[in-house]
Structure 1
Amino acid sequence: MGTLRVITQIIYILICIALTVLVLKQEGKGDGLSGAITGAASETYWSKNKGRSLEGTMETATKVLAGAFIVLSVVLNLNW
């Protein structure tokens, strides 16, 4: 059981590092102050097709890694 716990902890650390890098590489979601003042529409071609781009892929990867992070956090807190 000790070896399995060490392997799980190593995977957990790698997920933490990957999740941190992905979050820091992503752009902000807000339109910013200038978009709020001018009333710029957020429904653009780019926002509608974002899922097929690198940004969409990074967003999906962030969600998957966050889910794995939560599951591994629970597993590592079990007394086994």
Structure 2
Amino acid sequence: MTSTRQFQIGDHVSWNSEAGRVSGHIRAVHTGDFGWKGYTHHASQSDPQYEITSDRTDHVAVHKAGALRLLPEN
């Protein structure tokens, strides 16, 4: 299933994590398969994965568009 929403580098987004709702900024967009923490993640031009840095910590997460919500910039 492909996502219809496309995000861009710098977008402020939120997602659900084990610790609750987290927010951060997109720092990279992957449009091809890539290695991440020992695993191959599958992405394509029509179904990219987004690399996001958390607002609260230095943690970096990778998610598909369906897991993300765009937040307004303050």
User: Shared fold (TM-score greater than 0.5)?
Assistant: no
TM-score, normalising length: structure 2: 0.23
- Choose 1 or 2 for highest CA Rg: 1
- Normalized per residue, which structure has more strand? 2
TM-score, normalising length: structure 1: 0.22
- Normalized per residue, which structure has more helix? 1
